Amino acid sequence: MSIANDQGIDVGAAGTFDIKDLGTVRRLGFGAMRITGPGVWGEPADREAARRVVRRAVELGVDFIDTADSYGPAVSEEIIAEALYPYPAGLRIATKAGFTRTGPNRWHMLGRPDYLRQQVELSLRRLKVDVIDLFQLHRIDPAVPADDQFGLLKELQEEGKVRALGLSQVSVQEIKAAQQVFTVATVQNRFNLTDRSSADVLQYATAEGIGFIPWAPVSAGDLARSGGPVDTIARTLDATPAQVALAWVLQASPVMLPIPGTGSIPHLEDNLGAATLTLPASAVADLDAAA
């Protein structure tokens, strides 16, 4: 049952999805990348304000939070634990590893099995959990045999350190290769109104029942300019451009699990308002054609 809160936000209205090896989550979640400092580096300007954003997301009905060891690094995971531990029943927290950081906006792939194992242990400690709900390989490191990386993920699952496994920014062929080693529960690729380059991955995920977690799901670019298609639809439906962008993503597939992120409570509430917005077929057609 979906029950609207005192802000009229009903996250449950977006429906639910059963993540393989994990269970049911509401389809509109929260991405915790932007609760860190500029360039996804270091401390946020106000750590308590960041904690309030995380708490507010859960108060509004979010039961799926996505983070990564590299957000900060470590800062995002720490803030989630500070804000929410002991965690409410039903909350699922996903994290990732596969990048090292050397400064703001600097990301370096590192998929050595010993490194990934170390990062999982550190994430368990920072999140204050005995098992990670969903662990995702942030990138497949081309300098390390893919099967070595996939094999380590499978080992972690067999050891009970993680429940479900996922991949990030991958091709259909890479998903198929990983499926030979473990059950791929989710894929996390960039997908939004202005970047549909992973449409084939979405199609495969839909056919396979794999959760598709689109990152940067709100991005609408020039489509949201005054008089543009997103702006026009938003005005017609008494919605915001962000809500239109998210509603389009949600309606693209039943496996879609968008995780819009923000460090602002007003932006959070705006984003989550997309759960109750249903775009008419004509609006979807206009946005489909606007790419």
Q: How far is CA 114 from CA 110, 119, 150, 152, 159, in A?
A: 10, 9, 13, 9, 15
Identity at 35, one-letter amino acid code: I
C-alpha distance across the termini of the chain, in Å: 35
List, in order, residues 6 or more apart from 6 with CB less than 8 Å away: none
Rounded to 10°, the helix 265-272/47-59 angle is 20
Q: Are 133 and 92 in contact (CB under 8 A)?
A: yes
The alpha carbons of the chain give a radius of gyration, in whole angstroms, of: 18
Catalytic entry in 71, 85, 115, 204 = 71
**Nearest CA to 255 among 138, 166, 173?**
166
User: What is the rounded CA–CA span in Å between residue 201 and residue 272?
Assistant: 25
> What is the rounded CA–CA span in Å between residue 285 and residue 64?
29
- Residue 76 and residue 101: Cα distance in Å, rounded? 14
Q: Is 71 labeled as catalytic in the residue annotation?
A: yes
Give the active site residues. 71
